[in-house]
Amino acid sequence: MARYDATQKEDTRRKILRAASREFREKGVRATTVPGVMESAGMTVGGFYKHFDSKEDLFRQALTEAVSGTSRLMQMVPEDLTGDAWKRAIADVYLSEMHRDNVKTGCALAALSGDVTRSDRETREVYEAGLEQMIDQFRTKLGVDHETARAEAWQFLAQLLGTLILSRAVASPSTSREILEASRDAAAD
Amino acid sequence: MARYDATQKEDTRRKILRAASREFREKGVRATTVPGVMESAGMTVGGFYKHFDSKEDLFRQALTEAVSGTSRLMQMVPEDLTGDAWKRAIADVYLSEMHRDNVKTGCALAALSGDVTRSDRETREVYEAGLEQMIDQFRTKLGVDHETARAEAWQFLAQLLGTLILSRAVASPSTSREILEASRDAAAD
DNA sequence: TGTACATCAGTGAACGCGCGTTCACTGATGTAC
DNA sequence: TGTACATCAGTGAACGCGCGTTCACTGATGTAC
């Protein structure tokens, strides 16, 4: 309510963004509502457009935020690991039941892939940038030969995403566990 | 308009279902509308509830239809292939640019995974049944040892799905192609 | 075979509802003097 | 330091719109006699 206090306004923006990035991941773009996000952020609807142009703009910004939060997931693994040992460690974190059950705060690339596919070019570019960031980090862990490592990085990332997505879509807990285990074991070959 | 002509009514039901399964894959569940589906099927809204209980019921039935259509995808590959040769052949079909660009008629397991994750148990069971069907076919192609083959089947399926999903979400055509190629090459190791 | 009637798949207007967005406002805080 | 004023982040009611669903209806066809 104050004037010239840019910090406070920025704080509010971040609060909305954080609430939005959770709800988008959990419910998807269409089922997430502007009034709902604002309520989660502890505010009323009206103020929304002081911070964002539209719901699509919110999605784009929340995606950016969620995606950069995701690559922090990689820091949960000892820094000195490389190659197959690193793959195994990443798979254990990424394909854990904990990660599967935490859609809200988990990997945005997995949770929002479907929504992004149906979004406009600008949004898909944000998603791609996040992917590239991830691939780049993967590549440095996987070897020196640039081209081969990059291909292996894509392959590994696809495996991780596909497995997590399947494990979340399935109805029975035992099948879900089986899916996670199969790919975790594969990373340890 | 007729009475007692069960065949004609069933034909109409199938026509609606076919239109729905395309639109669900293309636009997702929330963006697909009952009036829109009925128009695609060449009819008006009102008749819809003579065939389906609700939009959710339509989704469940369309998913069943789309999923069984998907396992027909496997018949595009020579029947005598097994093991790695079979994997290579399946990857070439599944990870083709043609399949990537045909969301409407392509693999329902890939196109609807996000929507299914956010659906109720009954719907997720339909999805899981489709997966099991797929896994069973995969397993027989991959070896005799039941447990190992099943694990390898899950792993391979996750790889296929993850790759297709990523290739569709990305903005640039060249990155999309790179993703497809990386996993196609991996299947041929 | 011909006619009157019953059925019910499909029509299209209408319903209530929640969405994204707008807008007149409020009131706490910074600025000017 | 104290007071009057301007600003603008946030409020909450209101808007038009399209959704899922309902419903009174229509008219082609099957059945009864």
Print burial letters for B105-120: b (CB count within 10 Å at least 16), e (below 16). Answer: bbbbbbbbbbbbbbbe
Q: What is the 3-state secondary structure (H, E, C) of A29-61?
A: CCCCCHHHHHHHCCCCHHHHHHCCCCHHHHHHH
Q: What is the structure's pLDDT at B69? A: 86
| C-alpha of A153 from chain center | 17
Residues A85-90: what's their mean pLDDT? 96
DSSP of B134-162: HHHHHHHHH-S-HHHHHHHHHHHHHHHHH
Q: Tokens in use for B69?
A: 């259509």
Give per-residue pLDDT as tens, A14-41: 999 999 999 999 999 999 999 999 999 9
- How many CA atoms within 13 Å lie on the side-chain side of A74? 22
Rounded (10°) CA dihedral B50, B104, B170, B90: 130
Contact B124 A171 (CB under 8 A): yes
Q: Report whether A160 contacts B189 (CB < 8 A).
A: no
- Which chain B residue has the Cα nearest residue A151? B182
* Mean of pLDDT over chain B: 94
Given a cut of 90, is residue A134 above it in pLDDT?
A: yes
Nucleotide nearest to B56 (CA to C1'): D20
CA of B108 to C1' of C21 (A): 35
Q: What is the structure's pLDDT at A71? A: 79
Helix (H, G, I), strand (E, B) or coil at B114: helix
Greatest CA separation for chain A:
60
Given a cut of 70, is residue A176 above it in pLDDT?
A: yes
Q: What is the structure's pLDDT at B189? A: 62
In angstroms, rounded to a whole number, what is the distance separating the alpha carbons of residues B103 and A162? 17
Given a cut of 90, is residue A6 above it in pLDDT?
A: no
Percentage with pLDDT > 70 across chain A? 97
Chain B residues touching residue A118 (CB < 8 angstroms): 27-28, 31
| Residue A66: closest CA among A4, A33, A16, A17 | A17
pLDDT class of A3 with cuts at 50, 70, 90: low
- Write out chain B's pLDDT in tens, 189 residues: 555 677 889 999 999 999 999 999 999 999 999 999 999 999 999 999 999 999 999 999 999 999 988 878 888 999 999 999 999 999 999 999 999 999 999 999 999 999 999 999 999 999 999 999 999 999 999 987 778 899 999 999 999 999 999 999 999 999 999 999 999 999 876
Q: What is the structure's pLDDT at A84? A: 95
Q: What is the structure's pLDDT at B163? A: 98
Interchain CB contacts (distance < 8 Å): A and B: 154
* Mean of pLDDT over chain A: 94
Residue A46 CB-density burial (10 A; 0-12 exposed, 13-18 middle, 19+ buried): exposed
Contact B170 A27 (CB under 8 A): no
Residues A74-93: what's their mean pLDDT? 94
Q: Report whether B135 contacts B154 (CB < 8 A).
A: yes
Q: What is the structure's pLDDT at A37? A: 98
| Residue A135: closest CA among B175, B177, B111 | B175
Residue A50 CB-density burial (10 A; 0-12 exposed, 13-18 middle, 19+ buried): exposed
Give the residue, A132 or B2, on which the prediction is more confident: A132
Helix (H, G, I), strand (E, B) or coil at A105: coil
Q: What is the structure's pLDDT at B68? A: 87
pLDDT class of A74 with cuts at 50, 70, 90: confident
Q: What is the structure's pLDDT at B18? A: 97
Which amino acid does the sequence have at B99? H
Which among B114, B125, B162 has the least Cβ separation from residue A114?
B114
In angstroms, rounded to a whole number, what is the distance separating the alpha carbons of residues A133 and A64? 12
CA of A169 to C1' of C15 (A): 35
Chain D footprint bases within 7 A of protein beta carbons: 6-14, 18-24, 26-31
In angstroms, rounded to a whole number, what is the distance separating the alpha carbons of residues A177 and B7? 43
Q: Tokens in use for A106?
A: 């988990």
Q: Tokens in use for B59?
A: 């989704």
